[in-house]
A and B are shown apart, each in its own frame.
Chain A
Amino acid sequence: MDPQHAITAENIHKSYAAIKAVNGISFIVYKGEVFSFLGPNGAGKTTTVEMLEGIRKADSGRINVLGEDPWHSAIKLRDRVGIMPQDFRFIERITPKEAIRYYCSLFGMPDKSSELLELVELSEVQDVYFQNLSGGQKQKVGICLALVNDPELVFLDEPTTGLDPKARRKIWDLIRKLKSEGRTVILTTHYLEEAQMLADRVAIMDHGRIIVEGSPADIIQKMGKGRKLIVQYTEELFRHLSEVLGLECSRSGDSLSVTVHSNRDVMDVLEFADRSRIELTSLSLKEDTLEDIFVDLVTEQEESQ
């Protein structure tokens, strides 16, 4: 295995009865990068991540995590990998501080509870039973436990789901910090802007396959449909731009979204509005985001099924 590779997966398959959850995927995760799995529900993200974590056994294919087979060498990997599962739960009447101390003794680490609680801003509720914590606070306990053993590779499965915007930002800062410390982070998320902002590379999955893989910027450049000019909707504008100028237009409520391929297209829209004495009250130019591409890709996949 290339020493620069944190994970290599070759043609891995996993089925549950008649359902093919993962259908022959291959990818590489480099050391020190944030790699994100994206996809709609049931795309196979969690199954893939669980196979990498050594929790689930692949039906076929080869997986190598930090030089080990995660299913057969789970014990060897335990000290080097940190895992925060989706929808993290813990023993009901145990406090965050006690949970971290418990993990520290299991991993043979000194007591890191104060440091970790401070890192995720949980110090205020360190003595509250787990069952009485909010959803976001529970997730944060999960992150603390994933970091107890000072791991080289961290799996974060939907770490910000259910968090308020401020708490999400804190987790983003934490992920950036983990990356700056040279750790590899596998991030599974529903939030496309989160992946676009944090991930070095993403893999978009659907129906058990990786449909596209690369850095968010590359994917947008390769697969984006260009820029969109957004102005207020009028019947006259819509008809002229689509029928006379042949531009791709779509209406969304009071807005009209026009796909433009060059500055000339932008000028044409403005000139027509001027000639027709349409007073533009809103005007903005927007590039495709990872979310736009994701929605298009997933829709295409669904239509082709």
Chain B
Amino acid sequence: MKLKNIVADLKIYSRNYMRSTTAIFFVFIFPLILMLLFGSIFSGSTTSAVPLYVQNLDTSGNMSNTFIETLNSTHFVDIHMIPDNVNIQAYISQHSITAALLIPANFTSDYSQGQHISLTYYNNPAVSTSSVAQQAISVTVQLFNSHFANNNQTVSVASTSVTTHAANYIDFLIPGLIGLVILTSPMFSMTYIVSSYKKDKIFRQLSLTPLTKSEWFLSKFIWYLIISALSAIMIIAVGTLLFHSTLSISLLVIPFLVVGVFMFTSLGILAGSVSRSEESASVIGNIITFPMMFLSGTFFPIAIMPSWLQSFAHVLPLFYIIDGLNSVTIYSNYSSATLDLAVSIAVAAVIFVFTVLKFSWKEQ
């Protein structure tokens, strides 16, 4: 492998790329438009049940169960129980939970003695669904107080943010948009480039020069890494300056950028390689890209999706990149990020192996 060849190819490819207004639009303008659009649309409520994690430390009492049943009957929340023997904050962090309610151990006894009971609500204000859960809890508390406590304010709720800083929706959108750029910039281009190079026999042409397939691949990977990084910097800058994002950006974003660009550059080449024409390449590219674009937690958390769709999201490679970026930038949950990175590396490796097998410059 020669650095000189990689540089020569990178030079020619970047020139061709920068002269394409479509490519520039999708990498730099499109994410900005989405940021403006989704930033304003996702301001509040949703009508479907949102997930709420509940830890009930009042193991012997029945009033806490009544409270949970009342909460459940609002149909605003989908209740998941947290085991009573774990630390709720650690559990929230490990599972990147955005809404959780802690019911104290003495709930039933305090209730019977007419003493004040304080519930703790852990939530992430960045996620719009957490306000839905909060409203459901407030309604339940009011119902509970009026029916069971004769309108005495026996039960009350205190809110605690589960993130390390006060987040807002834009903080959730930024990692999603970075994920979007990591996905779309190599995917769309490579699918098109590979199928059109095949049709125009440009690969055959290149196979007659000292440039190797690995050098060609590496120059594309480097190029998409550069423009995805630039686009990510732009997204963060605009989000910070215009939308006052307070995201904690760390160097740990870089591994996701590298693995993601490698994965989708390979996948784009693979999609272009297996398709027989430019038209079928575009169809295959879109079939792969669009579901991933919307169902991987790019614009909204997958928690609000029906459970079957959530299971589907877990097989999408972009999900792990975005989940990892969220874990790093929003939750500072590094164990979850490490797992996401490990899954991403494994998926990227599998895709790369298939790409190596299918991507050929020569015709038998």
Interface residues of A (CB under 8 A from B): 50, 53, 55-57, 74-75, 78-79, 81, 83, 85, 87-94, 98-99, 102-103, 105-108, 129, 145
By a CB distance below 8 angstroms, the chain A residues around B208 are 53, 55, 74, 78, 81, 83
B364 at the interface (CB under 8 A from A): yes
Q: Are A78 and B200 in contact (CB under 8 A)?
A: no
Give a binary string over B200-243; 1 marks a CB under 8 Å from any A CB, 0 the rest. 11101101111100000000000000000000000000000000
Q: Are A78 and B209 in contact (CB under 8 A)?
A: yes
Q: Are A89 and B20 in contact (CB under 8 A)?
A: no
Q: Are A89 and B12 in contact (CB under 8 A)?
A: no
Among candidates B19, B202, B209, residue contacting A89 with C-beta atoms closer than 8 Å: B202
Q: Smallest distance from the beta carbon of A210 to chain B beta carbons, Å?
A: 23
Interface residues of B (CB under 8 A from A): 4-5, 7-9, 11-13, 15-16, 19-20, 200-202, 204-205, 207-211, 362-364
In Å, the complex CA distance between A94 and B9 comes to 12
By a CB distance below 8 angstroms, the chain A residues around B9 are 102, 106
In Å, the complex CA distance between A108 and B3 comes to 12
Chain B residue at minimum C-beta to C-beta distance from A95: B15
Q: Are B4 and A105 in contact (CB under 8 A)?
A: yes
By a CB distance below 8 angstroms, the chain A residues around B204 are 55, 85
Q: Are B8 and A94 in contact (CB under 8 A)?
A: no
Q: Smallest distance from the beta carbon of A17 to chain B beta carbons, Å?
A: 12
In Å, the complex CA distance between A57 and B16 comes to 32
By a CB distance below 8 angstroms, the chain A residues around B210 are 75, 78-79, 106-108
Chain B residue at minimum C-beta to C-beta distance from A87: B201
Q: A56-B363, A57-B364, A78-B210 are in contact. Are A91 and B12 (CB under 8 A)?
A: yes
Q: Smallest distance from the beta carbon of B364 to chain A beta carbons, Å?
A: 6
Q: Smallest distance from the beta carbon of A41 to chain B beta carbons, Å?
A: 18
Q: Are A94 and B209 in contact (CB under 8 A)?
A: no
Q: Are B4 and A55 in contact (CB under 8 A)?
A: no
By a CB distance below 8 angstroms, the chain B residues around A92 are 16
Q: Smallest distance from the beta carbon of B321 to chain A beta carbons, Å?
A: 30
Among candidates A50, A94, A108, residue contacting B16 with C-beta atoms closer than 8 Å: A94
By a CB distance below 8 angstroms, the chain A residues around B8 are 102, 105-106
Q: Smallest distance from the beta carbon of A50 to chain B beta carbons, Å?
A: 8
In Å, the complex CA distance between A88 and B11 comes to 22
Q: Smallest distance from the beta carbon of B69 to chain A beta carbons, Å?
A: 65
Most buried by B among A74, A99, A103: A103
Q: Are B201 and A89 in contact (CB under 8 A)?
A: yes
Q: Smallest distance from the beta carbon of A68 to chain B beta carbons, Å?
A: 14
Using A93-B16, A106-B9, A107-B210 as known contacts, list a sample of 5 further A-B pairs with CB atoms less than 8 Å apart, ordered by residue number in A. A50-B363, A78-B208, A89-B205, A93-B19, A102-B12
By a CB distance below 8 angstroms, the chain A residues around B207 are 55, 74
Q: Are A93 and B364 in contact (CB under 8 A)?
A: no
Q: Are B363 and A55 in contact (CB under 8 A)?
A: yes
Q: Are A98 and B205 in contact (CB under 8 A)?
A: no
Q: Smallest distance from the beta carbon of B44 to chain A beta carbons, Å?
A: 45
Query: Which 6 residue pairs are nearest across A and B when measured between Cβ atoms?
Result: A89-B200, A105-B8, A93-B19, A102-B12, A106-B209, A93-B16
Q: A93-B20, A107-B209 are in contact. Are A56 and B364 (CB under 8 A)?
A: yes
Among candidates B202, B211, B364, residue contacting A106 with C-beta atoms closer than 8 Å: B211
In Å, the complex CA distance between A99 and B9 comes to 11
Among candidates A85, A107, A108, residue contacting B205 with C-beta atoms closer than 8 Å: A85
14 A-B pairs, CB-CB below 8 angstroms? Answer: A53-B208, A55-B208, A81-B208, A85-B201, A85-B205, A87-B201, A90-B200, A93-B15, A99-B12, A102-B8, A102-B9, A105-B5, A105-B7, A129-B19
Chain B residue at minimum C-beta to C-beta distance from A79: B210
By a CB distance below 8 angstroms, the chain B residues around A91 are 12-13, 16, 202
By a CB distance below 8 angstroms, the chain B residues around A74 are 207-208
By a CB distance below 8 angstroms, the chain A residues around B211 are 106
Q: Smallest distance from the beta carbon of B24 to chain A beta carbons, Å?
A: 12
By a CB distance below 8 angstroms, the chain B residues around A83 are 208
Q: Are A98 and B15 in contact (CB under 8 A)?
A: yes
Q: Smallest distance from the beta carbon of A94 to chain B beta carbons, Å?
A: 6
In Å, the complex CA distance between A50 and B204 comes to 10
Q: Smallest distance from the beta carbon of A52 to chain B beta carbons, Å?
A: 12
In Å, the complex CA distance between A191 and B354 comes to 44
Q: Smallest distance from the beta carbon of A74 to chain B beta carbons, Å?
A: 8
Chain A residue at minimum C-beta to C-beta distance from B8: A105
By a CB distance below 8 angstroms, the chain B residues around A105 are 4-5, 7-8
In Å, the complex CA distance between A167 and B362 comes to 32
In Å, the complex CA distance between A103 and B205 comes to 11
In Å, the complex CA distance between A79 and B5 comes to 15
In Å, the complex CA distance between A107 and B209 comes to 7
